[in-house]
């Protein structure tokens, strides 16, 4: 299996990207990783020669976070994300991973890989590292404006991902809404509720934002406007909580002594909220495996994103979505 990785995308590129790929190459020696980017800059970030199962594919351009995604993809034909996507299209790679511009990655996927026939719009499917076990939330960035049919398809794809990648049997589906009762929400939520209620999916009803990390469902469905706000709120709250906790628990000698006694428990709690354990989020609905990573991804996150790409290919998530869409 070959995984193309955008070496130039992300806040910590190329150092963190290259290091994450080296870790992945060591963990899965039967995997070939294609680092796509500027060979000189990639080499500058190395402390030792690349392992045998990592190769470099030259790409001379980079798409910045401030550039218009579709225009940049059309005119920067040699951008790292464009080249990586083209490798998947031409069957020279089985999947791609990027921590660069999400808009550019989605534009490249739509223009090059195209959508799976029958899927109206793709969705970014992220994993929430909840204490009760990983939860899937989609869409978190692809479609701020969506209709009920789009959300129904998101639920189908999210169910496949939860079942085959997160190994959740018969995933419970919930609609993220402003109230738990049927009939709550705007027209979009009400129409989507009706579709999900009458579907063969294991739909459990509405769920409110405060319950996202509880064990009330396995897959949460919403449009990207709601999903992205929910995701960023959880990220901000988690960061604020742990930084404040550290500040308060080290404010005096007595507190430091107490903190030392409960430090193992605190580390376990922190690990349960560590997004880097899940690496990246697949762009579901496009005709190829494309894994979207957080812009600030570290080496551990990139390594796990490569793992997610590998598992998506092994479980043939694309074919499973195609098969489900074709069912009457």
Residues 42-58: tens digit of each pLDDT: 998 888 888 999 999 99
64 secondary structure, DSSP code: -
Q: 202 - beta bridge partners?
A: 172
Q: Among 22-26, 133-137, 272-276, which is the least confidently predicted range?
A: 272-276
Residues 6+ positions from 215 with CB-CB distance below 8 Å: 130, 132, 133
133: left (phi over 0), alpha (psi -120 to 50) or beta: left
Q: What integer pLDDT is reported at residue 295 of this predicted model?
A: 85
Contact 291, 309 (CB under 8 A): yes
Band of residue 236 on the pLDDT scale cut at 50, 70, 90: confident
Contact 88, 98 (CB under 8 A): no
Of residues 261 and 107, the one with the higher pLDDT is 107
Give the whole-angstrom CA distance, residue 95 versus residue 85.
8
Interval 234-252 mean pLDDT? 76
Given the DSSP bridges, would you call strands 95-98 and 289-293 parallel, antiparallel or unpaired? parallel
pTM: 0.88
What are the helix (H) ranges across 76-165? 80-89, 102-108, 148-164
What confidence tier does 239 reach under pLDDT thresholds 50, 70, 90?
confident
């Amino acid at each position: 299996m070959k995984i193309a990785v955008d070496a130039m995308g992300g806040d910590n590129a190329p150092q963190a990207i290259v290091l994450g790929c080296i870790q992945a190459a060591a963990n899965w020696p039967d995997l070939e990783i294609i680092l796509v980017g500027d060979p000189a800059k990639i080499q500058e970030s190395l402390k030792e020669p690349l392992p045998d199962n990592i190769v470099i594919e030259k790409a001379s351009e980079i798409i910045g976070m401030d550039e218009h995604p579709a225009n940049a993809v059309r005119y920067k034909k040699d951008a790292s994300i464009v080249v990586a996507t083209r490798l998947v299209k031409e069957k020279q790679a089985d999947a791609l991973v990027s921590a660069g511009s999400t808009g550019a990655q989605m534009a490249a996927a739509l223009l090059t890989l195209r959508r799976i026939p029958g899927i109206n719009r793709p969705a970014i499917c992220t994993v929430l590292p909840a204490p009760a076990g990983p939860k899937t939330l989609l869409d978190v960035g692809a479609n701020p404006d969506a209709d009920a049919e789009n959300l129904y398809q998101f639920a189908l794809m999210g169910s496949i991902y939860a079942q085959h990648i997160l190994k959740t049997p018969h995933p419970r589906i919930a609609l993220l809404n402003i109230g738990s009762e049927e009939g709550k929400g705007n027209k979009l939520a009400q129409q989507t509720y009706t579709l999900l209620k009458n579907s063969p999916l294991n739909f459990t009803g509405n769920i409110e934002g405060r319950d996202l990390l509880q064990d009330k469902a396995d897959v949460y469905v919403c449009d990207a406007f709601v999903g992205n706000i929910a995701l960023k709120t959880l990220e901000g709250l988690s960061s604020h909580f742990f930084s404040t906790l550290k500040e308060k628990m080290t404010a005096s000698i007595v507190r430091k002594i107490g903190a030392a006694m409960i430090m193992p428990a605190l580390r376990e709690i922190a690990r349960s909220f560590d997004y880097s354990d899940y690496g990246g989020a697949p762009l579901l609905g496009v005709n190829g495996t494309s894994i979207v990573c957080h812009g600030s991804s570290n080496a551990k996150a990139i390594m796990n994103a490569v793992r997610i790409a590998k598992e998506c290919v092994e479980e043939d998530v694309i074919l499973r979505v195609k098969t489900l869409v074709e069912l009457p």
